Structure 1
Amino acid sequence: MNDYLHLYEAFIEFITHLGKKNKLAVRDLKRIFSKHFKDHQDSEDLLPLIKKLTLDNESDINSSFQKCIRICDELGPSREYYTLINILEHVVEDLVEKSDPKTTELTKNVLESFKRQIAQINLKIPKPPLFNMLLEGRSLVEWTSIYAFYPFIPKRIKGDGRPVLLIPPYLGDDYSTSFVRRYLTSLGFKTYKWDQGVNLIKSHYIPRLEEKLEDIFRTRGQKVNIVGWSGGGLFAKIMANRHPDMVEQIVTIGSPVWGVMDMKTPVNGVLEFFRGKSLKERNKRFLEELDPIPNVPITCIYTKTDGLLPWKHCMEAESFRKDIANIEVYGSHSGLGANVSVLLITANALQANIEGRTVEDTTTFIERFLYPFYWNKKKRSLFFLN
C-alpha cells in the first residue's frame, strides 16, 4: 500500500473538490468516502485519511485532478486504477442525486475525463522483453523435471470432493492441464476436463462450456471452482461473470485478465497470419466481457519473466476486494502447467477461498521458499535491519 498511499491522498483530495462543487458538507463527504472505502483491501490505512478530511485546501478541482493523474502516470500502468474508477463512479452517482443539472453535467464530464486519462496510461504496458522470450526455453526443463519433483510435492490439502473445472491455454488441450489436474485429484478434489479439444480462444466455445458448468453444478450440488491457464483464464473469468451463482471461485494461471483488446504480445503477428484477423477483431464482444471483476474470489498466478504475455495484464485489482489475490511465481509462461509452485498455490488458493482465509495463511513455512513474495520480504527485513 505504501506505493499507492500518496495516490490515494491525491485521489481523496480530488473527490473532495468534486464534492465542494456539488456543495456538500464535510460530514457528507466523509460518509460517502467511508461507504465506498469500507470493502477496500487497505481500508485500515485509508479510513484515517478520511477522518482528517477538511475543505480548507486552497487548490481547485482542476489542479487536484491533474495531480491525481500525474501520480498515476508516474506509478505507471496498473489494474489497480480499476478500483479508483469504481469508487469515483459510485461517488458520482451519489453526487448526481443531489446536484442541479449544470453541476451534474460537470460531474459526469469529470468522471469520463478521468476514465479516458487512466485508459491512456494503461496503454503503455510494453510487450515482454526479448530476454524473457528467450527464457521461454526453460519450459522444456520444467516439463521434464516435473516427473522427478512430483512425488515429493506435499499432499496435505483436503479437497473433500469439491468440483474443479480446468481450462487449458491457447493452443493447448486437456493434456496441458494434466499435472494440475492429477495433483488436485490426489488431494481429493473432483476434477473435470474441458473436453473441447485444442483451445483457440474463440467465443463459440462458451455455450458448451456453460452447459458443462451447469451439468457439474447440478450433478455435484455444489458451486464449481474453475482453474484456467493462460487463454483458459479468459473463459474462467467470463463464466464467473455470467454465472456467479454456479462458480465458487476462479484461479487464473498466467492469464491476461484485463486489457486484452490493447495487449502487446509477440504472438500477435502469428495469430493474425494464421487466422486472417486479429483476436480482438474476431471476438470483440467476448473480450469486452473480461473487464468487469466477477463477484467471486479470484486468485491470479503470474510470473514477471513471462515471455509471451505482459505480466501486468495477468494481475487483477487486489485493492478492489479482500478476496482477490495476485501471487507471483518463478518460471516461464509455457512451463506454468508443470510448475511446482503453481500446483501448490492452486491447491492452497482453492482451500483458502472456500474457508474464507488468505493463501498465505494456508501456505506452510517450507512452501514459502518457492515464492518471490517470501524472498522480497526477507530482502526488506534485511534492508531495515540496521
Structure 2
Amino acid sequence: MEETQILYRIFTRLAVALGVLNGLSLKEAKKLLLQQIKEHPFENEIKVLINAIKEDEHESIEQLLDKTILVCEELGSNRNYITLEIILEHIASTISNDENQEEYKYTNSIVERFKKEITLINKKIPLPPLFNMVMETRSLLEWSSIYCIYPFIPKRIKGEGKPVLLIPPYLGDDFSTSFVRKYLQSLGFTTYKWELGFNMVKAHYIPRLEEKLHDIYQKHNEKVSIVGWSGGGIFAKIMANRHPNQVEQILTIGSPIWGVMDMKTPVYGLLEFFRGKSLKERNERFLAELEPIPKVPVTCIYTKTDGLVPWKHCMEAETFRKDIKNIEVFGSHSGMGANASVLLVTANMLSANIQGKKIRDVGSNIERYLYPNFWNKARKAFKIKKPIVQVIK
C-alpha cells in the first residue's frame, strides 16, 4: 500500500537515526535495522528503503519522531504499530557503554514517547457503524442458506486426524461451531467440542480449558490447533500464550484479540447486563493476557462489515512475523459460524500451517468466489513502484 510505504520510509529514517544516536555508525545502524526486519512479510521492500538512507540524521531525531507519529495518526489505529515499537526498543537496548548513560536516557525517552503516542492512537478505534449493526440481521439468511451451500463447498484438504479444539462465541455453545466442526471432520480432522455450556467469557473457564487442552495433547501426542469464534478467540489466544508447547496454532474468527480494555462495542451493554459489573472492572488481568503475541502461527479471520466488534480489534500484527495472517471475508459477525468463506479459510489455514506451507492457490470457480487471497493482494499493493525507488535514490 502506498500509505504503508510512506510510514516505513519515515520510520526507517527514525530507526537508523536512533541507532546512530546510540553510538553506531550509519552503516552499523542500517545493518542492525536490517536484522530486525528478517521476519517482516515485506522484508525485501523495506530493505530498499533502508539502503536508500545515505546520511546521518540523528541530530534531527525529534523531527523524525514527530513526523513518524503524525503519519501514524493520519493512517489511524493499527495493531501493526507494535512491530515498530519492538524495533525501536531493540535498537535502544543495544547501548552498553557506561559513558553514554545520558544519551541512553534520552534514547529511552524517545522510545517511550513513541509508545505512548501509539497507545493513544490505538484507543481511537470507533464503534461499528449503525449500518453494520442493523445489517447483523442478515445472519439469519447466512445460517439458513448454509444448508443449501454446504454440499458444494470443496473438500480437498486432508486433515489426517490432526486434533482441533473449537471454542464458541460469547453466549454461544457447541451448536454455534457445528458447521465448522462438521466441515473439518469431513476433511479428516479430529475435532473437539468446548463442552462448557454457554460461553460467558469469564476467567473461570481457563483452568478447565487448560485441562482439556492437556488431555487432547496427551491423547494425540502432538500439538493441538485451536479455533475460536468471537469470544472464543479470546480463550484461544490465552491458551496459546500460556501453553505454546501444546498449541500447534490458533485461528480466530471475528475475535477481539487486542486492545479489548478500550474497545467500543454494543456488546458491552449486554455483558454488563448479565454480569452486574463492567467487563473492564472484573477482568482486567484476564484481558491483559490478550496483549502479548503468541509464539505460534496465528490466523485472524475478520469482516469489515462486522456490526458487533470493531474489525481492527480482530486483526493481529502481520508485520510481527511471517506466520501471522489476517484474512478478510464478507458477512456479518453473528453469521460467521455459517459462512462458507470462513469454513474454507479455516480448513486451508489449519492445513497450511501444520505443513509449514503458505496457503495454496485455490482453483475452482466456487473457491475463487468464496475465498479471495487478500494477503497476496496486499503484497502486490505494497510493492514499491520503480518511480518511487528512483525518487528515493
Query: What TM-score bracket applies, with the shorter chain setting the length?
Result: over 0.9
1:364 corresponds to which residue? 363
1:74 corresponds to which residue? 74
Q: Distance in 2 between matches of 1:239 and 1:196?
A: 16
TM-score (norm 2): 0.92
Q: Secondary structure at the match of 1:228?
A: strand
Q: Secondary structure at the match of 2:326?
A: strand
After superposition, residues 1-386 of structure 1 pair within 5 angstroms as 1-57=1-57, 60-96=60-96, 100-359=100-359, 361-366=360-365, 367-371=367-371
Q: How many angstroms does 1:77 deviate by?
A: 0.5
Q: Secondary structure at the match of 1:296?
A: coil
Q: Secondary structure at the match of 1:318?
A: coil
**Which whole-Å deviations, capped at 9, do the CAs of 1:238-284 have from their partners, x for residues lacking one?**
11111111111111000011110100001212222331211121111
The answer as to whether partners of 2:15 and 2:33 remain within 8 angstroms in 1 is: no
The answer as to whether partners of 1:328 and 1:371 remain within 8 angstroms in 2 is: no
Q: Distance in 2 between matches of 1:111 and 1:99?
A: 20
**Which whole-Å deviations, capped at 9, do the CAs of 1:181-221 have from their partners, x for residues lacking one?**
01101110000001111101111100110011111001101
TM-score (norm 1): 0.94
> Measured at CA, do residues 99 and 335 of structure 1 come closer, stay the same or move farther in structure 2, by a change above 3 Å?
farther
> Measured at CA, do residues 237 and 335 of structure 1 come closer, stay the same or move farther in structure 2, by a change above 3 Å?
same
Q: Distance in 2 between matches of 1:67 and 1:3?
A: 14
Which shows bigger deviation, 334-343 or 278-287? 278-287
Q: Secondary structure at the match of 2:244?
A: coil
Q: Which has the higher contact order (CA 8 A, sep 6+)?
A: 2
Q: Distance in 1 between matches of 2:126 and 2:372?
A: 22
2:391 corresponds to which residue? none
Q: How many angstroms does 1:151 deviate by?
A: 1.3
> Measured at CA, do residues 372 and 264 of structure 1 come closer, stay the same or move farther in structure 2, by a change above 3 Å?
farther
Q: Secondary structure at the match of 1:285?
A: helix
Q: Distance in 2 between matches of 1:195 and 1:97?
A: 56
What letter matches 1:262 in structure 2?
D
Q: How many angstroms does 1:53 deviate by?
A: 2.7
Equivalent residue pairs, number:
380
**Which whole-Å deviations, capped at 9, do the CAs of 1:43-70 have from their partners, x for residues lacking one?**
0111122223333448611100000000
Q: Secondary structure at the match of 1:131?
A: helix
Q: How many angstroms does 1:90 deviate by?
A: 1.2
Which shows bigger deviation, 315-324 or 159-168? 315-324
Q: Secondary structure at the match of 2:95?
A: helix
Q: Distance in 2 between matches of 1:147 and 1:176?
A: 14
1:384 corresponds to which residue? none
What letter matches 1:287 in structure 2?
L
Query: Alpha carbon RMSD of aligned pairs, Å?
Result: 2.1
What letter matches 1:112 in structure 2?
E
Q: Secondary structure at the match of 1:94?
A: coil
Q: How many angstroms does 1:344 deviate by?
A: 0.6
Which shows bigger deviation, 133-142 or 46-55? 46-55
Q: Distance in 1 between matches of 2:357 and 2:101?
A: 46
What letter matches 1:357 in structure 2?
K
The answer as to whether partners of 1:348 and 1:362 remain within 8 angstroms in 2 is: no
Q: Secondary structure at the match of 1:165?
A: strand
**Which whole-Å deviations, capped at 9, do the CAs of 1:68-122 have from their partners, x for residues lacking one?**
0000001110011011111111111113567622111111111111111001111
Q: Distance in 1 between matches of 2:374 and 2:36?
A: 32
What letter matches 2:44 in structure 1?
E
Q: Distance in 1 between matches of 2:218 and 2:371?
A: 37
Q: Secondary structure at the match of 2:237?
A: helix
> Measured at CA, do residues 267 and 58 of structure 1 come closer, stay the same or move farther in structure 2, by a change above 3 Å?
closer
Unpaired stretches in structure 1, ≥5 consecutive residues? 382-386
What letter matches 2:363 in structure 1?
T
The answer as to whether partners of 2:80 and 2:318 remain within 8 angstroms in 1 is: yes
Unpaired stretches in structure 2, ≥5 consecutive residues? 382-393
The answer as to whether partners of 2:168 and 2:194 remain within 8 angstroms in 1 is: yes
Q: Distance in 2 between matches of 1:18 and 1:91?
A: 7
The answer as to whether partners of 2:17 and 2:56 remain within 8 angstroms in 1 is: no
The answer as to whether partners of 1:369 and 1:375 remain within 8 angstroms in 2 is: no
Q: Percent identity?
A: 60
Q: Distance in 2 between matches of 1:59 and 1:307?
A: 47
The answer as to whether partners of 1:330 and 1:372 remain within 8 angstroms in 2 is: no
Q: How many angstroms does 1:12 deviate by?
A: 1.4
